[in-house]
Amino acid sequence: MKVLVMNGSPREKSMTRNLTNTITDQLDEKGIEVLTFDAGFHDLPLFKGRKEDLNHPEVLRLVNHATKADAFVICSPEYHNGMSGALKNALDFLGGSHFKHKPTVLASVGGGGKGGINALNNMRTVMRGLYALVLPDQFCADPTCFDDKGYMIDDKAKERLTVVVEEFVSLTKTIEHDVEVK
């Protein structure tokens, strides 16, 4: 099983990257192969619908990973009540063929309090447009969930994240198994 883990934050010091690192560690522990896209490291051009941009090395890398992936973990910071523009730009380079019949779990990091839920709702609407099989369960973190080194230190958040990741892996395995049987 290959999972593409996406960090939608373009920021150098990103809380959402702390979250994707935590999820990646959990997937690694389960022996699952992880592919990555990080909007802070993998600089995509702005999507303009130009053919020549499809040969950009970062576009090729993203499309290649999305094609290979059996499932997706998509994480975004909440910016102005929605997902990051960087994540939406990355998704605009992909299409339904990359996501159809593939389990996808959504997670976000907000500014604190009740932040993060609007980004999740926005991501859910967009992923429906991309035909992803989005899990009903989702995860939302506050910046206070992490220490200075980026480790998740909030036990309740960690527990909740583990449940969501296990549900995601279980659904992905079920779908893979059903496809193999057919």
Q: Which is nearer to ligand FMN, 80 or 156 (CB)?
A: 80
**Angstrom distance (rounded) from CA 1 to CA 32:** 6
Instruction: With CB under 6 A as the rule, give the number of residues binding ligand FMN.
Output: 16
- Residues 57-96, one symbol each (x = binds ligand FMN by CB under 6 A, - = not), give --------------------xxxxx---------------
Q: How far is the CB of 171 from ligand FMN (least distance, A)?
A: 26
Task: Please report whether residue 109 would count as binding ligand FMN according to CB under 6 A.
Answer: yes
Task: Say whether residue 14 binds ligand FMN (CB under 6 A).
Answer: yes
Task: Fill in the per-residue mask, 33 to 52: x = in contact with ligand FMN (CB under 6 A), - = not in contact.
Answer: --------------------
SS3 (DSSP) at 33: strand
**In the complex, which residues of this chain contact ligand FMN (CB under 6 A)?**
9, 11, 14-16, 77-81, 109-111, 115-116, 143
